[in-house]
Amino acid sequence: MRNKPLSKRSTQALARVLEQARYEVLPTATTEEKVLTHLPRDRVITVTASPSKGLEATLDLAERLTGHGYTAVPHLAARMITGRTELAELCERLTGKGISRVFVPGGDAEPAGDYPDALSLLEDLTALGRPFAQVGITGYPESHPTINDDLTVQSMWDKRRHATHVVSNLTFDPAVVRGWIRRMRDRGITMPLLLGIPGPVERTKLLAMATRIGVGESTRFLAKHKGTFARLAAPGGFTGETFLEQCGPALAMPDANVTGLHVFTFNQIAETEAWRTDLLDRLRG
């Protein structure tokens, strides 16, 4: 399973983040049934937003999952929302359905109104009285396709007053994770971090989904990073298990404050939950 035994601290850190893993899903016609069939009610589910499907698909699925007893986290992509009036209406709608957590990315769409980026929407959420108990923002361990690395760290610093935690985008290099966490913490960004990783997706399905336009920010991220495909498609090129084990020392650092995983399931929900529970059992055993 691994090249050398994990230290006790690393093993404990990995078990902790696996226990607190949450799953990102795409709002398709079969997602609700898959979640109900394969996930216990204690899993946290985040629902992506895409220009092609519109925000309503995201909100509707998040509300239905909440009604089933899950903690659902809709993605409020800033550029898909026209301004404070619509935002206030969304806040009233979601809180009225018992939703207390949101994730606020900028999104890849052309701005629909007043929000060119996530920060501008976050500022309005604060002005509206902070209606959500938890507000997540995006972190970029690897270079963002259109934003300088220093600016992505600065962006987290700027957003820290309006958010409760950081969710990292996909990366496949444990050394990058270690360096990025160190840079964040040295800069004074102390918010809890959820480490983004891909679930055990079938290679053919991943490639097919990643070439579709507008099915979610995670797939668009992959489309912009074609080198990622080679790593995921090559036999033995990447596994979530090996990646997590190599991240173990970084996750175990006293000030790392990595509190869980954000797993990009690409709607391979049953396979992701089976992988998580199996790995967790082995770590505990």
What is the mean predicted confidence (pLDDT) over 118-143?
A: 93
Determine what percent of the chain is predicted with pLDDT higher than 70: 81
Beta-sheet pairing, 134-139 with 22-25: unpaired
Determine the 3-state secondary structure of 16 from DSSP: helix
Average pLDDT, the chain: 86
The pLDDT of residue 214 is: 35
Residue 163, CB-side half-sphere exposure with 13 Å CA sphere: 27
What integer pLDDT is reported at residue 126 of this predicted model? 97
CA 25 – CA 42 distance, rounded (Å): 16
Instruction: For the chain, list the domains and their CATH numbers.
Output: 8-284 (3.20.20.220)
Report the alpha-carbon distance of residue 281 to residue 36 in Å, rounded: 22
pLDDT, one tens digit per residue, over 23-53 is 999 999 999 999 999 999 999 999 999 888 9
Using CA atoms, how far apart are residues 44 and 67, in angstroms rounded to an integer? 13
CA 261 to chain centre: 8
pLDDT at 10 over 50: yes
